[in-house]
Amino acid sequence: MKTRCTLLFILLFVKSLFLVHAQEITLFQQFNGHYDYLAIGNTLNPEENNQSTFCQILPASQAFLQMPANTTIKAAFLFWAGSGEGDFEVSLNNIPITAENVYNVNFEDDNFGTLPYFSCATNITNLITTQGNTSYELTNLDISETLSSNPGYCVNRTNFAGWSIYIIYQDNALPLNQINLFLGLDIINRNVQEKTILLDNLNVLDTQGAKIGFLAWEGDNALNLGETLSINNTIISNPPLNLANNAFNGTNTFTNSANFYNADLDVYSIQNNIATGDTSATIKLTTQADLIILNNIITVLNSQLPDATIAVNQYSIPCYSKTIDLDYTVYNINSTATLQEQTPIAFYANNQLIAQSTTENEIAIDGFENGNISLTIPENIPDAFILTIVVDDIGNGNGMVLELNETNNITTENIQLIPLPEIIELENMLSCDLGFNTAYFNLTNQLELIQYEDINTIRFYEEFEDLVNNENNILNPENYSSIASPQIIYIKDAAEECYTIYQFNLITENCPPIIPEGFSPNNDNVNDWFNIQGLYDIFERHELQIYNRYGTLIFVGDNSKRWEGTANRGLNNQNKLLPVGTYFYVLNLNDSNYKIMTGWVYLNR
């Protein structure tokens, strides 16, 4: 965006002694390439109105277009202007044209009230491309009602109308130029006798061939009252057609005509008025009598620079995730040089830097490069936020690439993450401890508590993170071994786009032991010991006492010491097999959920 400067101004001038309201000139459209411009047009005034008392305009006027050889039309714009609120529909070669952009300015006359003036602009690229080199006639620009309803126009001799066409064309023999077209209305008059316009964002690489052109309405050759045009404080001229003190004198530099009544279409060389390295140019216009309305500005900038832009192609947001998969494209479309590789890209969430990347390759003029990145959104960023992506940003808002346009590097997206839903709680599952806090569960029994459409969309998980990441699901939920109590199990139903989540606890409990009424310790490997099922390695702190029929304690056991029909208490018969008969037990499970259990058991052979 910093370039050698070729500048074109479109200026509307109207004589007045009164106060005016204006619309600032702003950038309308930009072109980059081997481009230049030319302009044609004509007035609808029959003669110079400062020398006459006519109060009408011509019904039509013509201008001939002759494009240079070996050129291609890239864009064309029709401008028309005149006294009044505006005529927004005209014809060009009998083709109806409707205004796409309208600009107005008012003069408050103490005698005649408000005197408005207008300018219209329309893109006519297709029309000019189709008809090409030929004569163009503008018709149906009618301001007769305006002139007849308010005599102030003709009394003040500010009755005018006219038109012009600007053509942006490509010629590969030209240097690489940037053309900026600005539209708006801004004015000076006898009371405000000068206007300064600062064009910044320039980068003057070469002054050779720099020029400035303008279109001005109501320029009178006989009024040479301090009408000047200067660039960087130097007045410019191209005598004998345009003198230094009469810049707006009804001339057309393109046709070398001095009969462009009440209009000027002039071009000046300014290659001696700017310098290599300039980043701005100051333009000043002065007048001692006429009111000057600046309507359009077009800059043709010779500069071999890239222009990086970025666009989001698509992105996906997984359900209940803080991760975004993003596809984007970096363009170098509106450029005059290759965009270097490793051009930085910064990604912001609510203006907080969250990721960085770079381009991988050089991107040619009119080229592009696709990219992909996975963004992890920090926890402090809300679910709804603005994602901002900036190409040529090292992560602090500063770039490293000098570009034609430094203001078009940003794209934004309104992002809405999908928050985690409320997890649905299911009833706990209970199972008996089979030893060392191990229990088996058929997790699929919980499906009786929920509604689902397809069993194939159901998954069970031990960890919530695994559920979110869709990994490490339980492979055999019908026979699941749990070694912790309580243990949380999650169910994910992925039938919908964003799944439903359930959770429940597995509770491993110590079930009541089953005490047999007899056993036969005869070494036949069948029922050889007092096998109390659900006791050992479950009630690991239990104590078992065995008494004979006389009430004598003959055996004390625990989790590591089982009764196999021998005594380990008393002075006699220790470690010897006891006689057949009935014995009595006292089983203290040392569990607050159970009382001491007593009963009898028959020892047999």
Q: Does residue 284 register a pLDDT over 80?
A: yes
CB 492 within 8 A of CB 467: yes
Grade residue 199 by pLDDT with cuts at 50, 70 and 90: confident
At residue 192, what is the residue type?
V
Domain 514-605 has CATH 2.60.40: yes
Counting Cα atoms < 13 Å in the Cβ hemisphere of 422 gives 3
Higher per-residue pLDDT: 427 or 11:
427
The string of DSSP letters for 265-318 reads EEEEE-TTTS-TT---EEEEEE-SSEEEEEEEEEEEEE------EEEEEEEE--
Check for a shared fold between 309-412 and 514-605.
yes
Neighbours of 454 (CB within 10 A): 9
Neighbours of 406 (CB within 10 A): 15
What's residue 446's pLDDT?
95
Give the pLDDT confidence of 319-365 residue by residue, as tens digits. Answer: 788 899 999 999 998 788 899 999 999 999 999 999 999 999 999 99
Which whole number is the average pLDDT over 471-494?
94
What's residue 277's pLDDT?
74
List the one residue out of 216, 311, 220, 302 whose CA is nearest residue 265. Answer: 216
**Alpha-carbon span 72 to 242, nearest angstrom:** 31
Give the pLDDT confidence of 427-470 residue by residue, as tens digits. Answer: 999 999 998 889 999 999 999 999 888 899 999 999 999 998 88
Please give the mean pLDDT across all residues of the chain. 88
Structure-block tokens of residue 201 = 């964002």
**Alpha-carbon span 168 to 77, nearest angstrom:** 9
% of the chain at pLDDT higher than 90: 59
Higher per-residue pLDDT: 89 or 14:
89
Give the pLDDT confidence of 165-176 residue by residue, as tens digits. Answer: 999 999 999 888
What's residue 5's pLDDT?
35
What's residue 318's pLDDT?
84
What's residue 91's pLDDT?
98
SS3 for 65? coil
Grade residue 281 by pLDDT with cuts at 50, 70 and 90: confident
The class (CATH top level) of 309-412 is: mainly beta
CB 29 within 8 A of CB 183: no
Grade residue 571 by pLDDT with cuts at 50, 70 and 90: low
CB 270 within 8 A of CB 236: yes
What's residue 324's pLDDT?
95
What's residue 201's pLDDT?
63
List the one residue out of 487, 488, 517, 485 whose CA is nearest residue 584. Answer: 517
Give the pLDDT confidence of 235-266 residue by residue, as tens digits. Answer: 999 999 989 988 888 899 999 999 999 888 88
Q: Does residue 50 register a pLDDT over 80?
A: no
- Give the residue extent of every domain in the chain: 4-302, 309-412, 424-509, 514-605
What's residue 19's pLDDT?
40
CB 510 within 8 A of CB 539: yes
Q: Does residue 14 register a pLDDT over 80?
A: no
Give the pLDDT confidence of 556-570 residue by residue, as tens digits. Answer: 999 999 999 999 987
Higher per-residue pLDDT: 63 or 421:
63
* 315 φ, ψ (degrees, to nearest 5): -150, 155
What's residue 184's pLDDT?
85
Total length of the chain? 605
**Alpha-carbon span 440 to 430, nearest angstrom:** 9
Q: Does residue 89 register a pLDDT over 90?
A: yes
| pTM, to two decimals | 0.60
Domain 424-509 has CATH 3.90.550: no
